[in-house]
Amino acid sequence: MDLSDVSNKAQTLIEALPYFQRYAGKSFVVKYGGNAMGDEDAAREFAEDVVLLKAVGINPVVVHGGGPQIGAMLEKLGVETKFIDGLRVTDKATAEVAEMVLSGAINKSIVGSIARAGGKAVGLSGKDGGLVTARKVERTTKDPESNIEKALDLGFVGEPSAVDTTIIETATAAGMIPVIAPIGSDAEGHTYNINADTMAGALAAALGAARLLLLTDVSGVLDKQGKLLTDLTPADIAKLREDGTISGGMIPKLETCVNAVEAGCEAAVVLDGRVPHAMLLEFFTQRGAGTLISAA
């Protein structure tokens, strides 16, 4: 390594310094899932990024998904999967498999990756310490022939109705990185599978997090010419949805971001998780790397 390489590295650290200072002691909630979870190199880089965040005084909280892994396990066990309007119906057997996969294999794999990167992580689900109280998701659909709305019964698919962050704060204060599976239970003890984006948004709002980060497989929110939109407000998002610029799976992600920002999270970011060290590029450089959603 020559002096120019050393100088470049030093300049990078200097550029990052004000961000280290700004975010020290604050929480970042990171939703981790998709393609990155199935790639060994990407998983290692993600763990390294999370450990670095903790090392510079930030409190990362990881919420992970696992839809493809759940589907694979259901197929392996011979449990039939049903979908209504593209949504998985979660009966009791499916809910048990989802909890086994999410709280077991996936959760502990991420905890292990963080440990190998030099960090200390603790695996949790929304059921631990009363973290997330869930309620049954209620959805409706219109009959194409009669145009009459009818209720959809998705089984044990839930959403957060209350969040108690005590266990996260306790783990964080002890130097741990919480890794949370999107599983919760209601007051009667019924277990619900919760969308990981929704879970992450609820936790970010309850923690008053500095950032909610949704790692995706796109570079962020794009305009109609395919150009990255770097800064958006809830009003901007409403206009983009109305004119058709955003559609499909991006809509619920942005709804999660808006809900979190309006409920106490400082800002949310939609970011391409396939880019090596994308989180660090977003948080610690002037340019950033994704789409930032803030209240104003």
Residues contacting residue 60 through CB under 8 Å, at least 6 positions apart: 27, 28, 29, 30, 50, 53, 54, 177
Q: How far is CA 185 from CA 132, 155, 165, 227, in A?
A: 7, 13, 15, 41
Half-sphere exposure in the Cβ direction for 91 (13 Å, CA): 8
- What mean pLDDT value characterizes the chain? 88
Q: How far is CA 138 from CA 29, 98, 154, 198, 240, in A?
A: 26, 19, 8, 14, 26
pLDDT beyond 90 at 235: yes
**273 or 160, greater pLDDT:** 160
Instruction: List, in order of start, the domains of the chain with CATH numbers.
Output: 25-294 (3.40.1160.10)
Q: What is the pLDDT of residues 164-215, one digit of tens each?
A: 999 999 999 999 999 999 999 999 999 999 999 999 999 999 999 999 999 9
pLDDT beyond 60 at 101: yes
Q: What is the pLDDT of residues 63-97, one digit of tens each?
A: 999 888 888 898 899 888 887 766 678 888 889 99
Q: What is the mean pLDDT of residues 86-111?
A: 89
Confidence of residue 154 (pLDDT cuts 50, 70, 90): confident
Q: What is the mean pLDDT of residues 241-261?
A: 90
Q: What is the mean pLDDT of residues 9-16?
A: 79
Q: What is the mean pLDDT of residues 130-145?
A: 83
Q: How far is CA 154 from CA 74, 92, 196, in A?
A: 17, 11, 16
Q: Nearest-CA neighbor of 268 among 280, 249, 286, 283? A: 283
Q: What is the pLDDT of residues 32-59, one digit of tens each?
A: 986 567 678 888 999 999 999 999 999 9
In the chain, what's the furthest Cα-to-Cα distance? 74
**Cα(120)–Cα(66) distance, rounded to whole angstroms?**
22
Percent of the chain with pLDDT over 70: 92
Q: Nearest-CA neighbor of 22 among 56, 47, 73, 55? A: 56
- Take residue 79 and report the two structure tokens written for it: 């449990």
Residue-level pLDDT at 190: 92
Q: Indicate the pTM of the whole model.
A: 0.90
Task: Specify the length of the chain in residues.
Answer: 296
